[in-house]
Amino acid sequence: MSVRKIIHVDCDCFYAAIEMRDDPRLRGRPLAVGGDPGKRGVIATCNYEARAYGVRSAMASAYAKKLCPELLIVPGRMSVYREVSQAIQAIFADYTPLIQPLSLDEAYLDVTDSQACRGSATLIAKEIRQRVRDTQGITVSAGVAPNKFIAKIASDWNKPDGLKVVLPDQVEDFLRDLPVSRLHGVGRKTAERLQRLGVDVCSELLPWRKQDLAREFGSFGERLWELARGIDDRPVVVESRRQSVSVEHTYEHDLPDLDACLAALPPLLDKLAERIGRLEGSYRVSKPFIKLKFHDFTQTTLEQAGAPITPAGYTELCTQAFARGNCPVRLIGVGVRLDSCLSQLGEQLNLF
């Protein structure tokens, strides 16, 4: 089998980059795209001038303004962002049909069998970056590697407007001093647990046996063993199937107690039913879930297989989720997990 050639392309501060492109007066100053700080808005993305102050995506707009009083927050223009994303996807298609979009601003490309640029993945990545710059007026960063895991890390290596190539014989050196916190699936708690075990970088995972990691971390331990060695056999998946449908709302004023949260559920469930109704018939609702973000920005998500997908079912989930924080709530999200099948959703929708 030939070694795969994977490119991960990631637009640099995508929404903010488009706003700066369309209004040059915004360049050089801290800028974010997001909601109104006075109405519990959240930052969608920001430019690098804002990031220097600690501003990050998913941060409350009001808190971002505290970190950076000069921050300009502009509302998003999703129709424009989608149009640019589609134009970039069209560029990708000139090089390979194997494209897996992850969002509007990033995608994996499998160019193993591409004849473009004499079959060189590095030259393809360079050409894509130049074409996006010339046609869309924004920059993208790219990582080239033998698999998706390393390509994604590499695309972040020289941001913004960067390119990092990791050849097959360079994988071991590339991973040796890589912090385990940068491994896919390693969150803050897992990183802290690894640190307590004396593991800070990937090379310190190598002496561990797979079964010992599995004993410490369950099934994810096996994945850790593979990632530390640069093993990732996931293919680039062209047809992306939805995993869930959800609706969430951030409230201008905190919901003070459980009764207030329960009273806020009906309009959210109505919107959720509408979104499920627009799905193709190849999806089947699997199980309900609810997300609560409390006033201190901690959050919890609760889902339950077999739970009724009804107002009563969500009332029970909300009650249990609220008990985990037992304090005012700033955001509620409701949703359903999806399975792929050929059956229709009519019976499920009637439950709403």
Residues flagged as binding site: 10, 105
3-state secondary structure of 270: helix
For residue 352, CA distances in Å to 56, 151, 240, 287, 348 come to 36, 43, 27, 14, 8
- Phi, psi (degrees; rounded to nearest 5) at 197: -90, 5
* Residues flagged as binding site for Mg(2+): 10, 105
What's the gap between Cα 35 and its chain centre? 19
- The DSSP secondary structure of 15-33, one letter per residue, reads HHHHHHHH-GGGTTS-EEE
d(CA 304, CA 290): 10
Neighbours of 310 (CB within 10 A): 14
Q: Pick from 48, 248, 204, 62: which is nearest to 141 by CA?
A: 48
For 11, the token pair is 């637009």
> Residues 49, 70, 83, 106: which is the catalytic one?
106
Q: Is 106 a catalytic residue?
A: yes
Contact call for residues 114 and 127 (beta carbons, < 8 A): no
Query: Judging by DSSP bridges, how do beta strands 329-340 and 106-110 pair with one another?
Result: unpaired
Active site residue ranges: 106
